[in-house]
Structure 1
Amino acid sequence: MKPWIPLAFALFGIGAAQAGDTVSVVMEQATETGPGASLGTVSIRQSAYGLVFTPQLNGLEPGIHGFHIHVAANCNAVEVDDKLTPAGAAGGHWDPNNAGRHGFPWEDDAHLGDLPALYVAADGSVSQPVLAPRLKELEELHNRALMIHAGADNHSDHPQPLGGGGARVACGVIKVPTSSAPI
């Protein structure tokens, strides 16, 4: 690489996101007619320890909920077996390494989209951040969906597939802005 290129990137703010950069994802109810009412946002930022997901959400059922990155940037409902599946267009859990199994967010041989579960307070709010230690770059998440499931997540495929999270209750599309400023 030419020695002046890194300087040009630094001067013009071009290139990859840096530690501390943040993306905000609007989370909407997942319904049979497509995205519904807004429930709030989840900010995602890079840190030295992985990506940090900080929810500012209201209107969810109290308890523990599965939280995942899904393959497609689409929160629309789709028909599966003659039944509409809310946020089904987001596809399955993001698994770029073809691990083929659901697991803990720190396991190397599990879906990369497996995140720590969210704890929703008795009033339906959630604000506790979670850390995804294997996810390092915001750009990896561009054009993916962020999903909250109805049930808890045991981070295993047993006794139920995909941690037992069940129905999709909230979905948001992740868009990571890129700079298009000329050099």
Structure 2
Amino acid sequence: MLDRFAIGLFALSLAACSQEAAQPQELPAEPLPTPAEMPGPDEGVYPSMMQSSISIIGAEGSEIGTGNLIGGPNGLLIRVEIAPGGLTPGWHGLHLHAVGDCSDVGTFKLSGGHVGKVEGGHGLLNPKGPEGGDIPNIWAAADGSAGYEAFTTLTKMSDLQDEDGSALLIHEGEDDAMTQPIGGAGARVACGVIK
């Protein structure tokens, strides 16, 4: 009889504990502000707007275009302009690389791997990724010129302006957003150090 009583008492105490655990946590006295209530440019409050300019060189070592990066509170705005004749027409993979070195003109291997490299995680469509350096492809027109603007939340300016800097790389072909390690984009044909 005592055993049944002890088991019943134990079951009751477990039920009481589980009831306590299921109670919602108490909310703060004042609710968090909505985005509309947050201060912004109208009130003189701006994001850090860290900027970086890029001179993009081609496989021959001459400048073929420029880039500009602006750091915002939720990511990074990237703008690239390539002059006529700078690229072959069509799609090209575009990535952010971990080392700010384009001195090995023609191969650009000194720029290292992608920012935020994840083994087996390359590609914007990859369930194991994406990596911080993955950004959408760039399209070059029939005359080899290109204009590009994209926003990424995968990395931030402080990640790019670390001790060894970083680089923006353009590949000879398009990145399929899945294939390892660079989406099948082929050789590196242009490079720009992010300053």
Considering the TM-score relative to the shorter chain, is it more than 0.5? yes
Residue type matched to 2:115 in 1? Answer: W
Q: Which residue of 2 aligns with 1:148?
A: 170
Rg (Cα) greater in structure: 2
- Give the 4+ runs in structure 1 shifted more than 3 A: 17-21, 105-108
On the 8 A contact 2:126/2:178 being kept in 1, the answer is no
On the 8 A contact 2:171/2:190 being kept in 1, the answer is yes
Instruction: Select 1:104's aligned residue among 107, 124, 129.
Output: 124
Instruction: Select 1:52's aligned residue among 48, 73, 77.
Output: 77
Q: Which ranges of structure 1 fall in alignment gaps of 5 or more residues?
A: 1-16, 79-84, 176-183
State how far apart, in whole Å, the 2-side matches of 1:106 and 1:120 are. Answer: 25
Percent sequence identity over matched residues?
Answer: 35
Bigger fraction of residues in strand: 1
- Bigger relative CO (Cα 8 Å, ≥ 6 apart): 1
Structure 2 residue matching 1:64: 3-state secondary structure: strand
Residue 86 of structure 1 pairs with residue 115 of structure 2: no
State how far apart, in whole Å, the 2-side matches of 1:122 and 1:50 are. Answer: 31
Residue type matched to 1:87 in 2? Answer: F
Q: Which residue of 2 aligns with 1:23?
A: 52
On the 8 A contact 1:50/1:132 being kept in 2, the answer is yes
Q: Which residue of 2 aligns with 1:179?
A: none
User: Against the structure 1 CA distance between its residues 131 and 111, is the aligned structure 2 distance closer, same or farther, given a 3 Å change threshold?
Assistant: same
TM-score (norm 1): 0.70
Deviations 1:57-76 (A, max 9, x none): 11111111000011211113
State how far apart, in whole Å, the 2-side matches of 1:105 and 1:141 are. Answer: 22
Q: Which ranges of structure 2 fall in alignment gaps of 5 or more residues?
A: 1-45
Bigger fraction of residues in helix: 2
User: Against the structure 1 CA distance between its residues 105 and 112, is the aligned structure 2 distance closer, same or farther, given a 3 Å change threshold?
Assistant: farther
Q: Which residue of 1 aligns with 2:140?
A: 120
On the 8 A contact 1:25/1:42 being kept in 2, the answer is yes
Residue type matched to 1:151 in 2? Answer: G
